[in-house]
Amino acid sequence: MAKTVKAQLKCRHDTAANWTAKNPVLLDGELGVETDTTFFKIGDGATAWTSLKYVTSKSAVYDNSGNVIADTYAKKTDVPAITVSGNTISFGSVTIGVD
């Protein structure tokens, strides 16, 4: 039986200048959002912010239903893809409903 868990997803966020100045290493699969540009990166647990690539429309993959699947640049097989479909966000086998 499926269990529904209500959750709120919150990503790390800061301005582009602060991300660059602090240059943190994001956790594996962690999202970091630039609040002034709305660009974001996905961490791999080892690479500093300034060396990570931004997720762009060219890096997004769309499935046949129009869902966006953003894969990490690391292309690791053990890192789950992020799928956004309507009000549902999935990280591999974990699905979060967003109100």
Name the one residue in this structure whose structure tokens are 């690791």. Answer: 76
Q: Please indicate, yes or no, if residue 7 is contained in any of the structural domains.
A: no
Q: Please indicate, yes or no, if residue 6 is contained in any of the structural domains.
A: no
Residue 76 has pLDDT above 60, yes or no: no
Residue 73 has pLDDT above 60, yes or no: no
Average pLDDT over residues 9-27: 93
Q: Please indicate, yes or no, if residue 3 is contained in any of the structural domains.
A: no
Quote the number of domains for the chain.
1
Q: Please indicate, yes or no, if residue 84 is contained in any of the structural domains.
A: yes
Q: How long, in residues, is the chain?
A: 99
Domain limits for position 50: 12-97
Looking at residue 48, its amino acid is A
pLDDT (tens digit per residue) in 34-72: 988 888 898 989 999 999 988 765 555 556 665 655 554
pLDDT (tens digit per residue) in 31-44: 998 988 888 898 98
List the structure tokens of 41: 């990166």
**Band of residue 17 on the pLDDT scale cut at 50, 70, 90:** very high
